[in-house]
């Protein structure tokens, strides 16, 4: 294997690792968002955990965050929970930072 081949393989491995970490971060953010929304919806225990998993699953509908936003927005609206779009998007942003830190802490263990 040439030096170039080794370097290319290294870049491919790093890319795959980075993609895996990004997937974990987004899944964690969505779970945290689901738990936050469950609290807003007054869901408890198993119902809250199941709702959080539903939020995680909703991210597989399309690329980006809009599928998750729409799901949580619709659920909050259906229960007449007053949360602005801005607040919901800010919560998503804040929880992304939390998720990144949690995953980073786990990787360093």
pLDDT of residue 18: 77
* pLDDT score, position 38: 98
**Domain of residue 79, residue span:** 3-102
Q: Is residue 45 part of a domain?
A: yes
Quick: pLDDT tens for 35-48.
999 999 999 999 99
Residue 109 lies in a domain: no
pLDDT in tens, 47-70: 999 999 999 999 988 888 999 999
Give the separation between CA 77 and CA 80, rounded to whole angstroms. Answer: 5
Q: Is residue 49 part of a domain?
A: yes
Q: How many domains does the chain have?
A: 1
16-31 pLDDT tens trace:
877 888 999 999 999 9
| pLDDT score of 109 more than 70 | no
CATH code, domain with 21:
1.10.790.20
- Report the predicted TM-score, pTM, of the whole model to 2 decimal places: 0.85
């Amino acid at each position: 294997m040439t030096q170039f081949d080794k370097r290319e393989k290294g870049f491919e491995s790093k890319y795959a690792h980075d993609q895996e970490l990004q997937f974990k971060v987004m899944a964690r953010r969505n779970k945290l968002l689901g738990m936050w929304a469950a609290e807003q919806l007054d869901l408890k225990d198993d119902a809250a955990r199941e709702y959080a998993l539903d939020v995680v699953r909703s991210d597989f509908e399309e690329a980006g965050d809009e599928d998750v936003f729409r799901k949580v927005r619709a659920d909050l609206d259906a229960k007449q929970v007053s949360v602005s779009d801005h607040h919901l998007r800010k919560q998503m942003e804040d929880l992304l930072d939390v998720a990144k830190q949690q995953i980073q802490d786990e990787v360093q263990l």
